Chain A
């Protein structure tokens, strides 16, 4: 794996800015990969062995994804919306899995680890660089049951929603009152007041050279 400073620089560039979450995320990724014994997670021979479950959608998540190379679209990045600064690293080949939790006390310790800095963000960045892993993180050895339908690779299962006809992939359908439903039809949905509409220039495609009006 590349040195910490280089990983942080590249991760911050990809994320858009350097922030304390980037430092924690890069370090969490480095520790996670070390624990599951993947020294080069983005390398071709290791990239398919790694799954990362992130439990927050914060800067830290971007840093972890950048360092490890896991991606939502590749199904190697799983977002578990727990609101916890934690992530679990799974080696699919060995089944070794460790959940790493960013400690709350590390936030309180910034003043003492970087007393010479005044500005909060700069202080946290420096302090999180200085803290040893033992202060920054707690680690749990865990078992993760990865279902076939959650693995990277081709779609393993497709079913039709019996109410709206939508194709639902990879076992995400809901069985309700004897019906197979997609999540929106089952009422487990983030949107409401659905109404199908048309929109301007709806016949545009990239093969048409005309510019679209802004």
Chain B
């Protein structure tokens, strides 16, 4: 229960919540913290903050203070790889990445959580690459005092699969690269794909064990894949031959290598002719030629997810569609743009 008193009668009273001060462009934060005992000199400061009244709190048995609520919510939202400081500021608790890795957000559960009255959580997009210590979300109860039951229900929703937020370290994979195409294999043109793919792999903490060149011959492409697998590669990237021309036989070579599943086509541009396949659990990624021209393609959306242990299937490639259109900006600012962040 909340009791309203005039700020001029507040001397000696204990503040029941943080009081925020905003000085535009200069400061935003608590001017007074919960638990502070109001003294004479505070009165003028409080009035300057627009506070002519204060609340005194007398909690009923079934009620909960915003700070307690935030602590319950943060604990249930946090899954593996998430940490938080159990010291609400202005009723809010921020959640951080405990390690470098890929943030995953259980979007349906987050939506369900936020549909509960009087609680909220806002997060970064799922599949954002984060460094240790980066803030990934914040949560709070909306009112100062609320019933305990909705907080507990929201906590149950948040905890349903071990937490809505999690950060997954990227696995360091041993990667084999296969560059296909007669024009490169025969030396008609110089390959420019391998350095691009190598850099992307290295930037994400994996290693490249070998680069193989193959002509547009499905048996030789199969052989190149087999060689990388025998060499112990647990990720294979293939470029070239992913399109629709008669000479584009890379997919046939991949099929011949004995894939257990193959998904061709992604709802993203650039990168529609992207492919993900698996041979006994080892992912093979087919990168279309757009990877040569664009700094960022569907590969940059999918590769971190593969390295974070996610199985990519038809659904994952289809769900890229909303937000999957690169704006092709003159100066690319990815990942600080909407590309790939729809789902």
- Contacts beyond the supplied A130-B108, A135-B160: 7 A-B pairs with Cβ under 8 Å: A105-B112, A109-B111, A109-B115, A112-B107, A113-B108, A132-B157, A138-B153
Q: Is B72 an interface position by the 8 A CB rule?
A: no
| Interfacial chain B residues near A210, Cβ < 8 Å | none
- 5 closest residue pairs by CB, A with B: A105-B115, A134-B156, A135-B112, A132-B160, A134-B157
| Interfacial chain B residues near A109, Cβ < 8 Å | 108, 111-112, 115
Chain B 91-103 near chain A by CB (<8 Å), digits 1 or 0:
0000000000000
Where the two chains meet, the residues of A that have a C-beta atom closer than 8 Å to any C-beta of B are 103, 105, 108-109, 112-113, 115-116, 130-132, 134-135, 138
Chain B, Cβ-Cβ closest to A127:
B108
Is the Cβ of B153 less than 8 Å from the Cβ of A115?
no
| Interfacial chain A residues near B315, Cβ < 8 Å | 116
| Interfacial chain B residues near A108, Cβ < 8 Å | 115
CA of A41 to CA of B342, assembled, Å: 45
Is the Cβ of B343 less than 8 Å from the Cβ of A134?
no
CA of A134 to CA of B119, assembled, Å: 15
Given contacts A109-B108, A112-B107, contact A135 B318 (CB under 8 A): no
Q: Is B55 an interface position by the 8 A CB rule?
A: no
Q: Is B264 an interface position by the 8 A CB rule?
A: no
CA of A138 to CA of B111, assembled, Å: 16
Q: Is B185 an interface position by the 8 A CB rule?
A: no
CA of A201 to CA of B315, assembled, Å: 64
Is the Cβ of A112 less than 8 Å from the Cβ of B156?
no
| Interfacial chain A residues near B156, Cβ < 8 Å | 132, 134
| Interfacial chain A residues near B157, Cβ < 8 Å | 132, 134-135
Interface magnitude class on chain B: 10 to 19
| Interfacial chain B residues near A130, Cβ < 8 Å | 108
Chain A, Cβ-Cβ closest to B114:
A105
Q: Is B319 an interface position by the 8 A CB rule?
A: yes
A142 to chain B, nearest CB (A): 13
Chain A, Cβ-Cβ closest to B314:
A116
CA of A132 to CA of B76, assembled, Å: 15
Is the Cβ of A112 less than 8 Å from the Cβ of B111?
yes
Q: For residues 218 through 275 of chain B, which have their beta carbon under 8 Å from a beta carbon of chain A?
A: none
| Interfacial chain B residues near A103, Cβ < 8 Å | 115
Is the Cβ of B319 less than 8 Å from the Cβ of A134?
no
B44 to chain A, nearest CB (A): 45
CA of A113 to CA of B109, assembled, Å: 9
| Interfacial chain B residues near A115, Cβ < 8 Å | 319, 343
Is the Cβ of B153 less than 8 Å from the Cβ of A131?
no
Chain B, Cβ-Cβ closest to A137:
B153
A103 to chain B, nearest CB (A): 8
Chain A, Cβ-Cβ closest to B115:
A105
CA of A79 to CA of B342, assembled, Å: 45
Chain B 139-178 near chain A by CB (<8 Å), digits 1 or 0:
0000000000000010011001000000000000000000
Is the Cβ of A116 less than 8 Å from the Cβ of B112?
no
Is the Cβ of B112 less than 8 Å from the Cβ of A131?
yes
| Interfacial chain A residues near B112, Cβ < 8 Å | 105, 109, 131, 134-135
The interface centre, meaning the residue of A113, A130, A135 with most chain B CB atoms within 10 A of its CB, is A135
| Interfacial chain B residues near A132, Cβ < 8 Å | 156-157, 160
| Interfacial chain B residues near A113, Cβ < 8 Å | 108
Chain A, Cβ-Cβ closest to B155:
A134
| Interfacial chain A residues near B153, Cβ < 8 Å | 134, 138
CA of A132 to CA of B159, assembled, Å: 11
